[in-house]
Structure 1
Amino acid sequence: MKAYRSYEDLPRIKLPLGQEVFISDSTIRDGSQMPGIVMKKKHKIQIFEYLNRIGIEKLETFVYNERDREAVREMLDRGYEFPEVTGWARANPRDIDFVLDMDGIKETGILMSVSDSHVIDKMGLKSREEAEKKYTEALQYAVDHGLRTRAHIEDMTRADNEGFVFPLVEKLLEIDPDCTIRLCDTLGYGMPFPEVDEPYGIPYIVKRLREIGTKNIETHVHDDYGMSVACSLAGYWYGANWSSLTFLGVGERAGNAELEKVALFLITRVEGFQKYDLRSITEFAEFMEKEIGIRVPRNKSVVGKNIFAHESGIHTAGVIKNPFTYEPYPPEIVGGKRLLMIGDSSGLEVIRFKVEEALNELMHVGIKLDKNDPRIKAIQTDIQKLYNEEKRVSAISDEELKKYVEKYFMLQPIIEPIGEEHSAEEPNLDKNAG
């Protein structure tokens, strides 16, 4: 009989093909294109530092202007093994020269748009054949000048893959057999289901890329339909060895697949996968919110302030007895902190727990109380009265709870003898308090 009562009891999954998988971060490149966001040099350097702490293998960056190049020079000067700083270019020699001018960059991505909308309408090319010539010549130029390459196959999930894209990829691999082919789901049309044919099926496209001899396959999925993380994981499942992600999913429109979600899934759910250290990512999210202006919803998975916050009676009681009951992973994995809160749905168990904490802090004594202690019940009654009369619209803060503890546990012996059990002044706990 199987019993799942701890994180260690839960089985981990295995990638069917058993390949080693990696992450390439695009927070500084794609993320900086998010409307309303301006990343200064110091921001890019700090993001680089966080990625180094996590252990992300690569990041990509623009090198077109001097402020970008200054940031890249400083990253390179730090001499870190990870993340490797890579470049990005459009499919022309002049762009690639910008990358070549950055001493220390050994790899570049090259943008290759493949949908007819992009080729004809956006780029103004006359035909797919003209696009193919442009892309193969650009890749050849990069290889001839000693760069490792990534081909960013833009808008692949709205392209004629069998008729145009896969033959193009075969020609690219003839030029550079080790070229990483980036499957770009540019508008989030991709689906993670194996039964879905091209152009939408991420599993289908990955399998076809493997069949034509692609050694290195990378997904780059936008989140317009909210499927980016699922599609990125499906890419790994069917044979991709890289995924291009951004922290918090920043990027154009709805953004990209979130690095923190994919990395957490890998280290907590996949067998034998422990190479990323996520203890700094809650701090990383706070940095992005404070310094760059990315609003992090309270209920955002992995790094939201509510991820380890518990208020309802059933949940808090369960977590107090065994955190595994209502927490999918321990807070310390992501640098988070458990927060037990008292609100309108809280029961006696969490009040008892919080009162014990308050007594320890106020009186420096370790004490165990019964949740049916009349003083605990009196505190619950007072708190529920606030919500019943709709005087309160927020949780009770720790400081406010201390006032109740002082009243019922420290002042009570003084006021009871004069028959004024509730004569002590009520704590100021209206909706504006705290």
Structure 2
Amino acid sequence: MVFFAPGNARKSIALFDTTLRDGEQTPGVSFTTDQKVEIAEQLAGIGVKILEAGFPASSAEEREAVRAVVAAKTGATICGLARMRRDDVDACLECGVDMVHVFIPTSEVQREHTVRMSMDEVLAATAEVVGYAREHVGQVLFSPMDATRTDWDDLVKVCQTAVAAGATAVNIPDTVGVMTPSATKELIAKVVKEVKAPVDVHCHNDFGLAVANTLAAVEAGASQVQVTVNGMGERAGNADLAQTVMALEAVYGIGTGVETARLVETSRLVSRHAGLAVPPLQPVVGENAFAHESGIHAHGVLEHPETFEPGVMTPEMVGHRRRIKFGKHAGRHAVAQMLADVHLTPTEAQLDQVLEKVKAFSGRGRRVTDADLYAIAEEVVGMGAVTPSVQLSDISVLTGNHTLPTASIRMVVDGAEKVACSTGNGPIDAAMRAILGCLPEPVHLKEFSIEAITGGTDAIGHVTIAVEDRAGHIFDASASSDDIVTASVDAMINAVNLVRRAEKEE
């Protein structure tokens, strides 16, 4: 089912990913060369055709990184950014890029306060440098920076000048994110009519409209769109890759060539390298994108997913999993289903007690984890606690200013003693790695959060952990202690026991 088909009936859209350039301009983010190469390989691997690898003229380190991305031979077209200067273009050419992206400020405020150039000078520089770039490389993308605040006649002149000089495509950037979808659609339609070259758009998210404006540009006839993974970029960022792709594919029925089942995987890779957590409420890739707590919603999706999910976008389509969460809005059907999955079958009266306790627990401001639900149910049913298959015997953590954090752990796994030692980025990371080293089957740590539930330097820390098993099922558990390493270890072991318990019940 396609909900909207643009009037131009376009069948496909080219994606231009600028995570490695504009995305890296996110305050506090700096990718290493190896990280840039890994991200480039990931993006090309999922089907993104054009990658802006960086701004070579900015530093020797940036040139090295762009060269490395080019040398990786990902199969994607590799682009380098350049100001409207020959030496900037030369820096791109020295890196061996397939495309040079040249830009120049064109709005009055930008010309007066950033480059101090008249419009005639902008036109002359554009003709010269675009022409120079086109003599040396097969593809040249031209951007009139701050296009959406540029006088219309000036915008047409500079775009036409660039195309006449050899630009193979024209990008219309909403540099400060001031456009609305209706205004974007009107502007791009006019540009497409006046400029005889493929039209690209680059939308910023200052008012949360970057994806909407990008889609409006597609409706108006744009043939290429610029995106970043997780919507990274200057200030509030750019149009998000996953959201743009899924809107085009699922809502508009327009192909992007992207392997959508790897969108979550790609988001997490970039999140890890950028050091920026993906918000749980992030559309498509966030942890809550396909999570349900409300009794009506949970009951509905368990009966038929399209009741409270888009239908045209399922969790499996983007590499996600559906999750039922428990709290004060939980319903009987979801709780009963979750307990049935591990062969806990309370009576109707007992189920009412379980539900009452879950709501009371959540009403105190606490997150109800899978482990909490099972413990509550076991108490109500009167079956006693299940003996865990993984038990902690001892843990020792060594850390300091000049000592690499190291954790040594001794555990009993299915009756056999296991010992492991691991280093990490900190004492908790080292402890988590040591635990995983004792397990015979892989378990992936998906989520880790800690909060203080009392005040003072001896505060009690409450740790919540979510782990994923080989089949993609997610289990969460928590623990509290005045030692955050101990709380983290206990929470991790509780979560691992949930995984192993579920596997035994299958």
Secondary structure of residue in 1 paired with 2:2? coil
Matching of residues 95-174 of structure 1 within 5 Å: 95-103=88-96, 105-125=97-117, 127-162=118-153, 164-174=154-164
Deviation string 1:289-331 (CA, Å, 9 cap, x unpaired) is 3332223211111111111111111111111111111122211
Report the equivalent of 1:402: 374
Report the equivalent of 1:377: 352
Deviation string 1:380-418 (CA, Å, 9 cap, x unpaired) is 12323434xx5x323321122222333344628xxxxxx
Distance 2:330 2:6 in 1: 41
Report the equivalent of 1:316: 298
* In the alignment, structure 1 residue 306 sits paired with structure 2 residue 295: no
* In the alignment, structure 1 residue 45 sits paired with structure 2 residue 34: no
Change (3 A) 1:289 1:172: closer
Distance 1:272 1:192 in 2: 18
* In the alignment, structure 1 residue 69 sits paired with structure 2 residue 63: yes
Change (3 A) 1:157 1:85: same
* In the alignment, structure 1 residue 179 sits paired with structure 2 residue 173: no
Taking only the aligned residue pairs, the percentage that are identical comes to 25
Deviation string 1:65-101 (CA, Å, 9 cap, x unpaired) is 333333333333332323x111110001111111111
Please say if residues 245 and 256 of structure 2, whose CA atoms lie closer than 8 Å, have aligned partners that are also in contact.
Answer: no
Matching of residues 346-425 of structure 1 within 5 Å: 346-359=330-343, 373-387=348-362, 390=363, 392-409=364-381, 411=383
Distance 1:24 1:318 in 2: 38
TM-superposed deviation, 1:284? 2.5
Change (3 A) 1:300 1:169: same
TM-superposed deviation, 1:272? 5.6
Structure 1: any 5+ residue segments left out of the alignment? 1-9, 194-200, 361-368, 413-430
TM-superposed deviation, 1:239? 0.6
Superposed CA RMSD in Å reads: 2.1
Secondary structure of residue in 2 paired with 1:279? helix
TM-score (norm 1): 0.83
Report the equivalent of 2:421: none
- Aligned residue pairs: how many? 383
In the alignment, residue 88 of structure 1 is paired with which amino acid? L
Please say if residues 21 and 241 of structure 1, whose CA atoms lie closer than 8 Å, have aligned partners that are also in contact.
Answer: yes
Please say if residues 126 and 161 of structure 2, whose CA atoms lie closer than 8 Å, have aligned partners that are also in contact.
Answer: no
In the alignment, residue 265 of structure 1 is paired with which amino acid? A
Please say if residues 110 and 151 of structure 1, whose CA atoms lie closer than 8 Å, have aligned partners that are also in contact.
Answer: yes
Report the equivalent of 1:28: 20
Please say if residues 181 and 214 of structure 1, whose CA atoms lie closer than 8 Å, have aligned partners that are also in contact.
Answer: no
Distance 1:381 1:271 in 2: 45
TM-superposed deviation, 1:18? 2.7
Report the equivalent of 2:86: 93
Please say if residues 279 and 335 of structure 1, whose CA atoms lie closer than 8 Å, have aligned partners that are also in contact.
Answer: yes
Please say if residues 267 and 275 of structure 1, whose CA atoms lie closer than 8 Å, have aligned partners that are also in contact.
Answer: no
Distance 1:70 1:50 in 2: 19
Distance 1:262 1:133 in 2: 36
Please say if residues 50 and 280 of structure 1, whose CA atoms lie closer than 8 Å, have aligned partners that are also in contact.
Answer: no
TM-superposed deviation, 1:155? 0.5
TM-superposed deviation, 1:12? 4.1
Secondary structure of residue in 1 paired with 2:127? helix
TM-superposed deviation, 1:283? 2.5
Residue range with higher mean Cα deviation, 347-356 or 144-153: 144-153
Residue range with higher mean Cα deviation, 345-354 or 282-291: 282-291
Bigger RCO of structures 1 and 2 (CA < 8 A, at least 6 apart): 1
Distance 1:279 1:71 in 2: 28
Report the equivalent of 1:247: 229
Report the equivalent of 2:75: 81
Please say if residues 295 and 332 of structure 2, whose CA atoms lie closer than 8 Å, have aligned partners that are also in contact.
Answer: yes
Secondary structure of residue in 2 paired with 1:17? coil
TM-score (norm 2): 0.72
Please say if residues 17 and 48 of structure 2, whose CA atoms lie closer than 8 Å, have aligned partners that are also in contact.
Answer: yes
In the alignment, residue 404 of structure 1 is paired with which amino acid? I
Distance 2:5 2:178 in 1: 27
* In the alignment, structure 1 residue 214 sits paired with structure 2 residue 208: no
Distance 1:203 1:378 in 2: 56
Distance 2:243 2:360 in 1: 40
In the alignment, residue 106 of structure 2 is paired with which amino acid? V
Change (3 A) 1:397 1:183: same
Distance 1:227 1:69 in 2: 33
Matching of residues 305-344 of structure 1 within 5 Å: 305-328=287-310, 329-344=313-328
Distance 1:132 1:274 in 2: 34
In the alignment, residue 338 of structure 1 is paired with which amino acid? R
In the alignment, residue 284 of structure 2 is paired with which amino acid? V
Distance 2:352 2:290 in 1: 26
Q: By percentage of residues, which structure has more strand?
A: 2
In the alignment, residue 352 of structure 1 is paired with which amino acid? A
